[in-house]
Structure 1
Amino acid sequence: MSSQEFSTRSTAAADRDLTFVVIERHRELSAHYDAAMSISAKLDGPEFDAADEISSQRNHALAEHANVLIRSTPTTIAGVIALIRYVSSLREWELPDDDAWYGVFLEGLADAVDGIAMAQRLGRDGD
């Protein structure tokens, strides 16, 4: 298979893998929370209280989505790779509060790889 064929197939597979959507949403929520924290750090008094409330809301949204992120089950090898690389790049505050999150994450990745391998075997057997 030529590199162009592989690239086209990888792009098409990534288009079908919702893991990329989950990662992008997590990036957005992280950026929103980080921006809110930067603003509230510069304020005090009632302005701080209002900004801190916004930061808390954005932190809650990020925490909820972090749980979605670690429970994602990629459907392509490109999705598995992207998810591993993305999660490994996160700062502690971007990850779930639960100290055992990594067990759920690794189990989901194992299931994803197993499912992808099975689909590939079935695809070869069906040819």
Structure 2
Amino acid sequence: MSSQISTQSAAAADRDLTFLVIERHRELSAHYDAALSVSAKLDGPEFHAAEEISSQRNHALAEHANVLIRSTPTTIAGVIALTRYVGSLREWELPDDDAWYRVFLGGLADAIDGIAMAQRLARDGD
């Protein structure tokens, strides 16, 4: 049964771009974290150069965090993955806007509603 579940998850990932958005956010988080680790070990001009790189990577992460919370999954697997992923993030990986969760939850509700409607239409059409 677990091979069937992983096959279904892989098929869902093929249809739902949310998985790509999550993976990109993971990459940007890792790049920013690595840059911070480097700059923390430096002094003087090297620190300032490394800090500039950290700042650029933080900006990229912040921009993508806004993409992440505005993602609209198209599958239940995408809804679950996005919910679990966002729930696991540290504060610095989330948007700076204190009300980001309103956008996120509204988007999830819309996604679930859309998935349910598509399932009803498919069921009624059979």
Q: TM-score, normalised by structure 1?
A: 0.94
Amino acid at match of 1:60: H
- TM-superposed CA distance for 1:13, in Å, is 2.0
1:34-73 equivalences in 2 (<5 Å): 34-73=33-72
Structure 1 residues 61-82: Cα deviation after superposition (integer angstroms, max 9, x where no partner): 0000000000000000000000
Change beyond 3 A, Cα 1:45–1:100: same
Computed over aligned residues only, the root mean square deviation of the Cα atoms, in angstroms, reads 1.4
Moved segments of 4+, more than 3 Å: 2-10
Q: Which runs of 5+ in 2 are unaligned?
A: none
How far apart are the structure 2 equivalents of 1:79 and 1:9?
12
Name the aligned partner's letter for residue 50 of structure 1: A
Q: Tell me, which stretches of 5 or more residues in structure 1 are unaligned?
A: none
Please tell me whether residue 105 in structure 1 is matched to residue 104 in structure 2.
yes
CA distance in 2, matches of 1:97, 1:79: 24
Compared CA separation, residues 104 and 12, structure 1 to 2 (3 A):
same
Provide the TM-score with structure 2 as the length reference: 0.95
Equivalent residues in 2 for 1:76-115, closer than 5 Å? 76-115=75-114
SS at match of 2:22: helix
Aligned pair in 2 of structure 1 residues 4, 120: CA closer, same or farther (>3 Å)? Answer: farther
How far is the alpha carbon of 1:14 from its aligned partner?
A: 2.2
